[in-house]
Amino acid sequence: PLFEGAMREEHRERTHGYVSAVAAALEGAPDADGLEGVLGHFSIGLCLAVADERGTVSPKGLERLSQCLDPSEVDPLLALDTGFRWLADRGAGERLAVVLPAPLGAVPFGPGEHARIVGVQGFRGIQNRVATVRVLLLTFLCLAVALTTLMGYAALTRLIVRPIGRLGRTVEKLHAGDLGAEAPIEGAHELQALSHAFNRLGRKLSEDEQRIAHQLSELRLVNAELGKTQDHLIRSEKLASVGQLAAGVAHEIGNPIAIALGYLEMSRRADTSDEERKEFTTRSIEAIQRVSVILRDLLDFSRPAQGEELRCDAGEAVKQCVQLLSPQPRLRHVTLEAVVAEEPLPIALGEHRLAQVLVNLVLNAADATETKPGARVILMAARRGEYVEVRVSDNGPGIPESVRTHIFDPFFSTKDPGKGTGLGLSICYSILTAAGGDN
């Protein structure tokens, strides 16, 4: 639009100057022949005519105007005072009509005081130039946009798309476990800063992984040492229980041995018949077998639990515990009972570990009911839905509220000094919690 406006203004100025030149030339041609000669000389590409003050035009002037104007356009143009007017063309383009005052005496065929010179020139060639420039401008703009887009795409690809793609592949490597993968430092400034930050993150993750692996290794060693220490404590408490049981066993096996020795002495007498000697031998064997059963139970209980299976039958463990503890003088005042279901009662705990827990609880129950007449301790094993319940109950006074929160603490004991280590219930708690139990 700016270019077209400039062309219009240039065309108006040129046409105006052309018509002004015609007006200057008419000052030297006062007769009709001179007038027509001047107008004919300048009528190349320009339709010229001179009208008197009444708007009358010579026939030759009308003929020249008809080359540029329709008959209907002549009268309105002749009625125009000085100035210019744009007229629409029947074809492509427009026409410019310029009306200027004519010099005095330049109109020999009528009043000339207010005569006018009329010039009409087409704008078709300029319109074509404007159209050409418009096409060139649009073509240039399209090429500029295409070139800018291509350059922008190339720059975007080199500075952003490719670096982001490489950074994404590096992230995939890091996700796959390759903590040594580093993103290349390339692309725009922000992407380079992002790559630097990502590489620092990768190095930090690698350092953290090495530190965690080292800490895990140390924790495994500590856990192994704790496991050994715990096993040692369990073994020590078990040996302490064995020591307490051994004192009772020593007293318990004295009677069967004395009986066996008496029968053997009687069988050595000369006056003993063969039938009596055979009966004495049988009774001696029975007494010695009783001793063997007592000692075997104690040895089974004291045997180390290395390689022990992590499952056992709770009912069988309860029965063996009762069989082991029944001969103990420490439990002479107690009626020890076993209530066990007939069906198998498998649990996720080794037999030796469960026996140690039961022995400790029964011995504590015996100590708690030492002064109670008609003391009873009941060991029960039964199925409760999908669980197996093992219970040790007694009719003693129970545990006071003031010490219930401390009974599982190591070295805590309510017994007199020298009668307990304070580790029994703590060891029982650690055994059961290691097997998945809870209080």
- Write the pLDDT tens digit of every residue in 116-144: 778 887 766 666 777 787 888 889 999 99
Sheet of 334-340, strand order? 334-340, 375-384, 387-394
- Which of 241, 281, 252, 287 is closest to 264 using CA atoms? 281
Q: Are residues 57 and 75 in contact, defined by beta-carbon separation less than 8 angstroms?
A: no
Residue 53: pLDDT band (50, 70, 90) is confident
Residue 240: pLDDT band (50, 70, 90) is low
Q: Are residues 309 and 277 in contact, defined by beta-carbon separation less than 8 angstroms?
A: no
Q: What share of the chain is helix, strand, coil (3-state, %, to 5)?
A: 60, 15, 30
Q: Quick one: average pLDDT of 173-196?
A: 78
Rounded to two decimals, the pTM is 0.41
Residue 145: pLDDT band (50, 70, 90) is very high
Average pLDDT, the chain: 77
Q: Are residues 241 and 363 in contact, defined by beta-carbon separation less than 8 angstroms?
A: yes
